[in-house]
Amino acid sequence: MSISPPTLADVFAAQRTISPYLRPTPLHHYPQLDQALGATVYVKHENYQPIGAFKVRGGINFMAHLAPEERARGVVTASTGNHGQSIAYAAQLFGVRAVIVVPEGANRVKVEAMRAYGAEIVFAGADFEASKRHGRDLERTQGLRFISSGDEPSLIAGVGTHTLEILEAEPKIDVIIVPVGGGSGAAGAALVAKSINPRIQVVAVQASGAPAGFLTWQAHAAKTAAIQTFAGGLATGEPFMLPQRMMWEYVDDFVLVSDEEMMQAVRMFLEKAKTLAEPAGAAPLAAARALGPRLAGKRVALILSGGNISPEELTLCLERTVS
């Protein structure tokens, strides 16, 4: 059965739901990024969230509307990190048992955070897709409520509130660039932007080493792809079709960036905006650099989706010279 996508009204309702728990994140303007990109650049600092990533918006909105019997059963999900942190954080707020299945090589910074928020961590599989299958197994064997990181309307409505905040602060934004892992953030951003002002251009960005979302968006049909990227937040090998259907309708362009380009963007954020981005969070800056003259003179919002980078990843990024 097809799942109905959220509406703009759902995003406004989500904003009311999460406001007692989360303050709006800053939208900062950085002249050094203006000079580098030839545009007026604003950064939406989702790396300033309590969990260091935008996903917490969806987690709280989801948990706030979870039926009492499902709260009593507990929840299980699969994650490479930020989605799992959001569910762990929200479950702790609402007193719900949370089991998070992560790949064997998951970012230890994110895993430690999930555990600190009270979640039970299960390591299973070499990648996200394998972890997701194990999560479904736990749903069947333990009676937990499985939470898809992409195909949940309340998650999409929750994360879409970041774009409401962008347009409340800067209504004249011309372009919004947003990263795609599972696609909830991009779907929410595109829904809000196009519903409020259809002239806003929404650009999605994904790792060239894990292009399932891009290929699915391009073909308007489900496509899978190998996962060969170090950007954990973008390491998705199979598409989530609810956010994809929304992106087919609302997203104007889709860009692929390499790990090398994301590494340079992490360093560029650190040098020119004095802020820490994880590779997925830096992907919009990498995409903006790749788009180059197409952004000239425009007012551009980059959604810095998260800052949960490990010391090892940061060391790799700092070795790169920004050209």
Residue 10 CA to residue 138 CA, distance in Å, equals: 30
- Cα-based torsion angle of the residue sequence 146, 151, 154, 156 in order, rounded to the nearest 10 degrees: 140
Q: What pLDDT is stored for residue 14 in this prediction? A: 98
Answer yes or no: do 71 and 45 share one domain. no
142 located within any domain: yes
Instruction: Dump the DSSP string for 215-277.
Output: HHHHHTS--------S-GGG--SS--HHHHHHHHHH--EEEEE-HHHHHHHHHHHHHHS----
Q: Tell me the whole-structure pTM to 2 decimals.
A: 0.95
Q: How many domains does the chain have?
A: 2
Answer yes or no: do 220 and 131 share one domain. no
Residue 107 CA to residue 115 CA, distance in Å, equals: 13
Answer yes or no: do 245 and 142 share one domain. no
The answer to whether 254 and 214 are in contact (CB under 8 A) is: yes
Catalytic residue among 55, 110, 194, 272: 55
Answer yes or no: do 115 and 14 share one domain. no
Answer yes or no: do 35 and 92 share one domain. no
Q: Which residues of the chain have pLDDT under 50?
A: none
86 located within any domain: yes
Amino acid at 191: L
Q: What pLDDT is stored for residue 323 in this prediction? A: 75
User: What domain range includes position 219?
Assistant: 8-53+154-318
pLDDT digits (tens, 9 = 90+) for 247-269: 999 999 999 999 999 999 999 99
Q: What is the CATH number of the domain that holds 81?
A: 3.40.50.1100
143: left (phi > 0), else alpha (psi -120 to 50), else beta? left
Buried b (16+ CB within 10 A) or exposed e, 87-125: bbbbbeeeebbbbbbbbeebbebbbebbeebebebbebb
Q: What pLDDT is stored for residue 1 in this prediction? A: 54
Is 110 considered catalytic here?
A: no
Residue 74 CA to residue 309 CA, distance in Å, equals: 29
Answer yes or no: do 250 and 312 share one domain. yes
Is 55 considered catalytic here?
A: yes
Catalytic residue among 131, 148, 208, 305: 305
